[in-house]
Amino acid sequence: MRENTTDFQNTTETQVQPSKESDLLKARRDALHDATEKTEETEGSFKWLTEHSRSFLAAGYLSEGVSAEERIREIADRAEEILEMPGFSDKFYKYMGEGYFSLASPVWSNFGKKRGLPISCFGSHIDDDMGNILYTQSEVGMMSKLGGGTSGYFGKIRHRGAAVKNNGYASGAVHIMQLFDKMVDVVSQGSVRRGRFSPYLPISHPDIKEFLEIGTEGNSIQQLTHGVTVDSTWMQEMIDGDTDKREVWAKVLQRRGEMGYPYIFYTDNANNGKPDVYKDKGHDIYASNLCTEIMLPSSDEWSFVCVLS
């Protein structure tokens, strides 16, 4: 804990001498902690912090000697600093006490600290450009190193055998995924929490059959948990009897039965139901994250983040 270096001096009017904002925040936190312990109102708060939950948090999420309430106050104070919203800390602390919010593991462990990341899940967007591909691989590698689960959309990568201007023919989307498979394996060797990456490919992509072989015995890619994105037009044509599409769909279902993959993500459902702000700004949703529980836009310029708190 940092020392409280705030000085008080009596003059004709009581004034607080200028001090660092962090010292004032700590002084307020300590004063609030001491005061609220004695109030009847607080005796009824944080009822969700049972003996079991306190032991669980102390075992892996809290620094030694720090209570859950103190950690929540640290998180609240840091959020107020970032947002520059006076009063946010007290409101958030109160709402946590009432059980209105539940924090994700990396928020408990890392938010406001100089370690790890307060975000646990990320989604990247890979463009059909080698510079962007290598940049995204580096981005995913650093996020994995710091404990994040990652994913990427590969639908813009040209298919295997496609002509490349002044450079022969493309190796295809699945070949590019090998970079990410190797990156996950290498980064995992030096991290406490194993890195993970999920590549997503449209079911209409010419490389889809090769993609559906990922994770099978003898395949060069074994570390990735892959997913297909399905649009409504393709799905309807498959239902209507398109032979080639039915063959692909049968393979998707076969692989899911054998290994649990690929994930299936319906892009038109996601974009039809996305918030108006995404529609107004033309932000499209292409894929989901590693855990397939969120739907957020991405592009070759920015990735999305997921915080289940």
**Residue 95: in which H helix or E strand, if any?**
helix 88-98
**Mind listing the pLDDT tens digit for each residue in 292-301?**
888 999 998 8
* Residue 136 scores a pLDDT above 50: yes
- In the DSSP assignment, the letter for residue 266 is E
* Residue 5 scores a pLDDT above 80: no
Residue labelled with tokens 């705030």:
6
Mean of per-residue pLDDT scores for the chain: 86
Say whether the peptide bond before residue 262 is cis (omega within 30 degrees of 0).
Answer: yes
For the record, the structure tokens of 211 come out as 């993609």
* Residue 17 scores a pLDDT above 60: no
Please give the pLDDT value at position 138: 94
* Inside any domain, residue 12: no
Choose one of 110, 145, 170: the last residue of a domain: 110
* Residue 30 scores a pLDDT above 90: no
Q: In the chain, how many domains are there? A: 2
Percent of the chain with pLDDT over 70: 84
Residue labelled with tokens 């709402």:
95
* Residue 166 scores a pLDDT above 90: no
What global pTM score does this model have? 0.77
Residue 238 identity: M
Choose one of 77, 110, 143: the last residue of a domain: 110
* Inside any domain, residue 285: yes
For the record, the structure tokens of 106 come out as 């990396």
Domain identity same for 129 and 231? yes
Contact 46, 97 (CB under 8 A): yes
* Of 192 and 254, the one with more pLDDT: 254
**Mind listing the pLDDT tens digit for each residue in 35-48?**
555 443 443 489 99
For the record, the structure tokens of 42 come out as 């607080």
Q: What is the mean pLDDT of residues 198-209?
A: 98
Tell me the residue range of the domain where 70 lies: 22-110
Choose one of 110, 130, 160: the last residue of a domain: 110
Domain identity same for 222 and 100? no
Other C-beta atoms closer than 10 Å to the C-beta of 300 total: 16
Domain identity same for 291 and 189? yes
Contact 161, 209 (CB under 8 A): no
* Inside any domain, residue 3: no
Domain identity same for 189 and 277? yes
Cα–Cα distances (Å) from 247 to 28, 154, 216, 250, in that order, read 65, 22, 18, 5
Domain identity same for 177 and 218? yes
Whole-number Å distance between alpha carbons of 235 and 241: 10
* Inside any domain, residue 11: no
Please give the pLDDT value at position 307: 83
Domain identity same for 125 and 106? no
* Inside any domain, residue 277: yes
